[in-house]
Amino acid sequence: ALTAPLGGNQALALMAVALLLVTAPQILLLLREALASPRTPASAEDSAAMRGSMLAFWGGGVVGPMTGHVGTIIVAAALGPVAAGAYFAADRIAKLLSIALIGVNQIVGPMIARSWRGGRKDEVRLLVLAGSAIAFVVAGIGFLAYWLLGRFALSLFDPTYVEAWGVLMILSAGQLVNTICGPNNFLLNMAGRERDYLAIMTVWGALALVGI
């Protein structure tokens, strides 16, 4: 909708404002619901358990996205802004494959929670297996599309970025591994293994940055 040309800083500021406008109503709605809900004090045992798990839950949610974005900074520091631009484009395109997993998690996450709470572990196994398989198949189709059309997708950002096709395929292969792991993060967190999940994300995130 904007007709005036935007510089990099202006574009970033505009995106930040747009994100704030989108998320502010959600935050207000959550606050209203939280304040309107009746308060039931937790037991001392539950409070201690929540305090002990909180950092692991937050850490597990933060480490993955953080290491995913730091890769671009590493490339920029080592090879300069042009290479960082090509890497960023390849990274963004590759991450589209994870949309399949995100969509699957939105559906099977509550189902896994219900089955786990009910003690129906066979259902949990089936849901995790089905979620992993569906996400992997969809991402696999996208991977094949990138193999054939990846250079064209990169050229939409800049014609010189076609040289990053190999990088795109490596990152896309990583997304295939990500999708076939399926909703295991939900399973680990619900099974009281949030510290294990944080450790897995931290170690593999560090190895990924070294690889980059």
Which SS3 state, helix, strand or coil, does residue 33 take?
helix
User: Residues 168, 169, 171, 174: what is their CA dihedral angle, to the nearest 10 degrees?
Assistant: 160
Handedness of CA 86, 87, 91, 94 (dihedral sign): positive
CA distance 34 to 25: 14
Structure tokens at 94: 């590759």
Structure tokens at 47: 């409070």
What contacts 24+ positions apart, CB below 8 Å, involve 46-51? Answer: none
Our CA angle for 194, 40, 57, nearest 5°, is 15
Per-residue pLDDT in tens (0 to 9) along the chain, 212 residues: 566 777 878 888 888 999 999 999 999 999 998 888 887 888 888 888 888 888 898 998 899 888 888 989 999 999 999 999 999 999 999 999 999 899 998 999 889 989 988 999 999 999 999 999 999 999 999 999 999 999 999 999 999 999 999 999 999 999 999 999 988 888 888 888 999 999 999 999 899 889 88
Residue with tokens 């937790």: 42
Residue 19: other Cβ atoms inside 10 A: 10
Our CA angle for 83, 15, 75, nearest 5°, is 15
CB 128 within 8 A of CB 154: no
CB 138 within 8 A of CB 100: yes
CA distance 61 to 55: 10
168 alpha carbon, distance to own chain's centre = 17
